[in-house]
């Protein structure tokens, strides 16, 4: 009985030793020989103590402890890596506010102010809301959906003000009920940015259509633009459709469908995702 208590205590101690010290310092650092030797040493110490009748039970329990703690630690590390990757990607997105876009927006606001246009105040409000969201409210893993929609609305209205009559912008937002759901911040903007990035040329017929529909715990996004010939020295921003797809896979695995269609003249993005 006393040997069993000692054996169980040692087994529990080895679990924590293996989980917190041996795996991080040896297994994860590719010191596989030292790792195997430490497992062997633990096996000898723990399995020599019980009586021969209980030895088989201790062996199986030891193996279970090793594999279970290893599995838990690997899973924990993957989750931590995903969280770190998400934070890094979000920081990258926040840092990629296009200086060219901001410069042109400020120039547009200045031009409105010179003309004493009534739209000057609204443009300043939109720009202020956009900057406040990016630098103050988008640092969390999840934010209220309404804040994300307000951010998108501010961005689109600034583009409308900046581009004027050179592009037809159609933006519709449907909400069947009050949107109390949450969403990962800046998860939608890349698709909208790309529409303005590749679909706007002041010297060509440009049209951008954006439709968002929210119903219960689902969001539908449709973005369409005509492909235009871009100026040779055009500027662009955003992480692009490829990285946006990877971020969706990371944050919404099995909870979204993304379809991107394009031909010589059109580019269409359709996204359906479950909300939090």
The pTM of the full predicted model, rounded to 2 decimals, is: 0.63
Q: Is 117 helix (H, G, I), strand (E, B) or coil?
A: coil
**Average pLDDT in the 70-81 region?**
81
- Arithmetic mean of pLDDT over the chain: 80
Closest CA to 244 of 203, 184, 201: 184
pLDDT value of position 274: 93
Residue-wise pLDDT for 113-128, tens only, equals 877 777 788 888 888 8
**Which DSSP string corresponds to 213-260?**
EEETTEEEEEEEEE--PPPTT----S-HHHHHHHHHHHHSTTSEEEEE
CA angle, corner 132, sides to 106 and 151, nearest 5? Answer: 85
Beta strands 207-215 and 168-175 are parallel
* pLDDT tens digit sequence for 7-42: 678 888 888 898 889 998 998 888 889 999 999 888
Contact 218, 275 (CB under 8 A): yes
Q: How confident is the model at residue 271, as a pLDDT?
A: 97
Q: Are 51 and 4 in contact (CB under 8 A)?
A: no
Mean pLDDT, residues 253-273: 93
C-alpha 101/C-alpha 3 separation (Å) is 73
Q: State how far the Cα of 151 lies from the Cα of 135, in Å rounded to an integer.
A: 12
Is pLDDT of 172 > 90?
Answer: yes
One of 3.10.20.90, 3.90.110.10, 3.30.565.10, 3.10.129.10 is the CATH number of 96-274, namely: 3.30.565.10
- The domain segmentation of the chain, as residue ranges, is 2-86, 96-274
Beta bridge partners of 269: 223, 260
């Amino acid at each position: 009985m006393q040997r069993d208590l000692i054996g169980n205590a040692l087994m529990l101690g080895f679990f924590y030793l293996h989980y917190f010290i041996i795996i991080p310092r040896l297994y994860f650092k590719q010191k596989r020989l030292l790792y195997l030797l430490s497992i062997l040493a633990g096996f000898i110490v723990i399995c020599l103590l019980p009586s021969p009748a209980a030895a088989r039970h201790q062996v199986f329990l030891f193996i279970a402890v090793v594999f279970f703690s290893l599995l838990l630690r690997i899973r924990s590390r993957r989750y931590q890596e995903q969280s770190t990757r998400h934070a890094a990607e979000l920081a990258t997105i926040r840092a990629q506010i296009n200086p060219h876009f901001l410069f042109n927006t400020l120039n547009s606001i200045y031009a409105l102010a010179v003309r004493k246009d009534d739209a000057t105040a609204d443009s300043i409000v939109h720009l202020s809301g956009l900057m406040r969201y990016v630098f103050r409210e988008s640092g969390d893993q999840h934010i209220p959906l309404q804040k994300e929609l307000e951010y998108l609305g501010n961005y689109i209205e600034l583009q409308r003000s900046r581009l004027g009559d050179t592009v037809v912008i159609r933006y519709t937002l449907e909400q069947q009920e009050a949107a109390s759901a949450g969403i990962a911040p800046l998860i939608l903007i890349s698709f909208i940015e790309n529409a303005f990035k590749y679909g706007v040329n002041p010297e060509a017929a440009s049209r951008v259509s954006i439709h968002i529909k929210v119903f219960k715990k689902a969001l539908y996004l449709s973005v369409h633009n005509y492909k235009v010939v871009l100026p040779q020295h055009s500027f662009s921003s955003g992480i692009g459709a490829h990285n946006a797809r990877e971020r969706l896979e990371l944050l919404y695995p099995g909870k979204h469908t993304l379809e991107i269609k394009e031909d010589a003249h059109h580019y269409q993005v359709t996204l359906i995702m479950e909300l939090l």
